[in-house]
Amino acid sequence: QVKPQLEEKEGKTFDVFTAVEFKTQVVAGTNYFIKVHVGNDDFMHLRVFRSLPQENKPLSLHSYQSSKAKHDELAYF
């Protein structure tokens, strides 16, 4: 659901977009920290926010880190 948001921010499309790892953080909703394979040996770390169910809002790409490798630790940011 956040792939189009990332593609818009990066100004490019991703042929490969596969989540390989994730962590969660409960706040007033949930932050998801997701390691995504975007092709070749390239990975990105995404921070996606899911609001509380009663707010009925779509998933939101809060921030991201590019130029990551498969072995890079997925950390809160």
DSSP string, 4-33: HHHHHHHTS--S--EEEEEEEEEESEEEEE
* CA pair distance 75, 23, nearest whole angstrom: 8
**Confidence at residue 22, expressed as pLDDT on a 0 to 100 scale:** 94
| Domains in the chain with CATH codes | 3-69 (3.10.450.10)
**Confidence at residue 75, expressed as pLDDT on a 0 to 100 scale:** 87
Say what the pTM is: 0.86
- For the stretch 20-70, pLDDT in tens is 999 999 999 999 999 999 999 999 999 999 999 899 899 999 999 999 999
| Token representation of residue 50 | 């899911």
